[in-house]
A and B are shown apart, each in its own frame.
Chain A
């Protein structure tokens, strides 16, 4: 009986420790770094199929979401950077999907 109580106690202790020490949340900077890498990969993927959209990083775009995000992060505004990266990544993914959907585009689609 004593052994059983001790085992249960130990089990509860371990469970309790696990519950009270959750994995350390990512800092904004870490979130930004992870998001930046994912966005850059998505942009390159879209570009590889000629599907990149205008406002992601083109130098003459007024928006330039990706460079603007990097600029915001350099100024320490990670929240703004993450918001901009969200847009850039979404546009990159859409550009890739669009290029894939248009793989078989041709005159037959225009009644020729």
Chain B
């Protein structure tokens, strides 16, 4: 009897450990399969179009917006920032290389020296500081414009986040994954509740998008943000959106570029590996 109990307990422990420590590759495979089965027949890249891939009438409206996209002027502003030299005569090219189309696909990545996730926005401000310039605000304005420019230049390339087999990198990935699936806030909702369990359903007037493909079109121009802004600037970064989601479930949002959100981005972007970058995007 004692042996049977020991055996059952061991089996249980092994099963739990397998669940808790599945590799990023296994996670990605299961994640992809889950959405392909939930939305049979949908092309992989269509997931990058968010809720517009799930509702025909919304898609028509969105396509008409994309004819004269409101983010265009901010991509141009981003280009101007890219081209404008710093006071020391250098420019962003001294940090990112001369080809802006090769920047976006490198992010986010794991930095083995600092043992942390590095994001595009993080490196934009690092570059400014290293060149004696004042860093940008983290969530909107110039940082989102330059990021949008990098996204626009990278259109057509595939997201390709690498999770190295380094315990600390895996820890960061696991932290981001846990954050994504853990319920939080007074409304007791996880990111996964809306974007894994209920994509395609409405939450009030909004159609929920799939988590697969969500990062391909960031930064985004949101009509809601444009309405709030004095000058109609609706651009915002991925971390601005994370903060908004957390606020909506009545959890205290974390700071943009905090470790929590960088780790979340590491997981979140990795789950869209292989999808085509179509940033910046327009969203309601």
The interface residues of chain B lying within 8 Å CB-to-CB of A58 are: 252-253
Say how far A97's CB is from chain B's closest CB, in angstroms. 11
Within the complex, which residue of A47, A56, A57, A107 is in contact with B31, where a contact is CB–CB below 8 Å?
A107
The interface residues of chain A lying within 8 Å CB-to-CB of B84 are: none
Number of interface residues, chain A, beta carbon within 8 A: 26
Q: Are B251 and A54 in contact (CB under 8 A)?
A: yes
Q: A55-B250, A112-B30, A112-B31 are in contact. Are A106 and B178 (CB under 8 A)?
A: yes
The interface residues of chain A lying within 8 Å CB-to-CB of B182 are: 99, 102, 105
Query: Of A47, A55, A107, which is in contact with the most chain B CB atoms at under 10 Å from its CB?
Result: A107
Query: Of A52, A104, A110, A111, which is in contact with the most chain B CB atoms at under 10 Å from its CB?
Result: A110
The interface residues of chain A lying within 8 Å CB-to-CB of B192 are: 107, 109-110
- Chain B, 190-242, CB within 8 A of any chain A CB: 190, 192, 196-197
The interface residues of chain B lying within 8 Å CB-to-CB of A105 are: 178, 181-183, 190
Looking across the interface, which residue of chain B has its beta carbon closest to that of A56?
A: B252
Q: Are A112 and B188 in contact (CB under 8 A)?
A: no
Is B268 positioned at the interface, with any CB of A under 8 Å from its CB?
no
Q: Give a binary string over A81-110; 1 marks a CB under 8 Å from any B CB, 0 the rest.
A: 000000000010011001100101111111
Docked CA distance A108–B191 (Å): 15
Q: Give a binary string over B25-56; 1 marks a CB under 8 Å from any A CB, 0 the rest.
A: 00100110010000000000000000000000
- Chain B, 243-279, CB within 8 A of any chain A CB: 246-247, 250-254, 260
Is B179 positioned at the interface, with any CB of A under 8 Å from its CB?
yes
Residues of A whose CB lies within 8 Å of any CB of B are 47, 50-58, 60, 91, 94-95, 98-99, 102, 104-112
8 contacts between A and B (CB under 8 A): A47-B252, A53-B186, A54-B252, A54-B253, A55-B250, A60-B247, A99-B184, A107-B27
Residues of B whose CB lies within 8 Å of any CB of A are 19-20, 22, 27, 30-31, 34, 177-179, 181-186, 188, 190, 192, 196-197, 246-247, 250-254, 260
